Amino acid sequence: MKQTLFFVLFIFQLLCLSSFQPPETPPLKSAVPFANSITIEELKTTLFTFSSDSYEGRYTGEIGQKKAAKFLKEHYQKNGVLTPLGNNDYYQEIPSLFLPENTKASENVVAFVKGSIKPEEILVISAHYDHLGSKGTKIFNGADDNSSGTVALLEIAEAFQLAKEKGLGPKRSVLFLHLTAEEQGLYGSKWYVQNPLFPLKNHIANLNIDMIGRIDDTHLENSNYLYLIGADKLSSELHVLSEQTNKATLNLTLDYTYNRKNDPNRFFYRSDHYNFAKNNIPVIFYFNGVHEDYHLETDTPEKINYELLQKRVQLIFYTAWNIANREIRLTINN
């Protein structure tokens, strides 16, 4: 009796699972081993290095930021992730004239996994890597803001590269864009959209990551959450894909509080994705909300929740996988 019941339940479950699979979602199963290459250990080691004092708070144009750029470049070289620029050049230079007064020339750092079927279509995954520098003996290490997003990009790039080496690379190209001068007013992304490495119309979406390693006060009870901002603004297909991907994988609580029209915090306008959205490129901004260490010298790496960071990075990887591999390019709402 029991066994029969279990069998019936099992069949029922199978039916539910198969009817749940939306037609536009490519098989995520093949992505699992690559998502699993995004480990807590690697995220932690890299984040501790990137937000250490030796990077002096990564102030745009200064020694610490240059050192951080070099770290990113060498990380990609070590892992066999190529640059879209050729000649082993991973830097997109930004002249000081374009930047606010008294800011020295700086650079975005770019890496690239070329698509196998539609290489001309580009998914951009971005995170700013600059921060507030130092004041006297205080160093603003910016562990959450935005070493968390920076290491997310490195790990996602590694996962896609690994997939490519196993013959399962993305159909479309994925550009990893580490932006500078965000803290001064989104200058790195502004420069990128004015000087894109590929025709702007071929940029199919931007997933922007800025602060994903901490928990804010409103989620102390259920910390398995992430704020998503902007997903439905230009392409409702992107929002649906993002929701379906989450349900089929990590099943985090996706919080849309800051996505509301007229939200007083205006986060939609406050990080680099905004320069893509302005150009009619669908975006998702991933964010953990603010906390007591926001923009203070106490935003340090031991305060990051690495288990949660891993889940969030894996979710973004799966979402990127689905965007890059779907049959038809995401369409923009009428």
Binding site for Zn ion (CB under 5 A): 145-146, 210
Cβ of 189: how many Cβ atoms within 10 Å? 26
CB atoms within 10 A of CB 269: 12
Buried b (16+ CB within 10 A) or exposed e, 37-52: bbeeebbbebbbbbbe
Assigned token pair, 321: 């996988």
Q: Where are the alpha helices (DSSP H) in the chain?
A: 2-20, 32-35, 40-50, 63-78, 149-165, 187-194, 231-234, 236-248, 273-277, 306-325
Nearest-approach distance from CB 65 to Zn ion, in angstroms: 14
Residue 111, classed as helix, strand or coil, is strand
Select 145 or 155, whichever has its Cβ closest to Zn ion.
145
Question: Residue 210 or 216: which CB sits closer to Zn ion?
Answer: 210
For the CB of residue 127, give the shortest distance to Zn ion in the complex, in Å. 8
Min separation Cβ 176 and Zn ion, Å: 17
Q: Nearer to Zn ion by C-beta: 157 or 186?
A: 186
Output 142 or 196, the one with its CB closest to Zn ion. 142
In the bound complex, what is the minimum distance in angstroms from residue 206's beta carbon to Zn ion? 15
Which of 172/312 has CB closer to Zn ion? 312
- Return all residues near 304 (Cβ < 8 A) that are at least 6 apart: 44, 47, 143, 144, 148, 213, 214
3-state secondary structure of 112: strand
Beta carbon of residue 180, minimum distance to Zn ion (angstroms, whole number): 12
Q: How far is the CB of 141 from Zn ion (least distance, A)?
A: 13
Distance CA(8)–CA(24), nearest Å, equals 29
Residue 147: CB minimum distance to Zn ion, A:
10
Q: Which CB, 145 or 232, lies closer to Zn ion?
A: 145
- Whose Cβ is closer to Zn ion: residue 145's or residue 158's? 145
Q: Rg of the Cα trace of the chain?
A: 20
Q: For residues 274-291, b (16+ Cβ closer than 10 Å) or e, as one string?
A: bbbbeeebbbbbbbbbbb
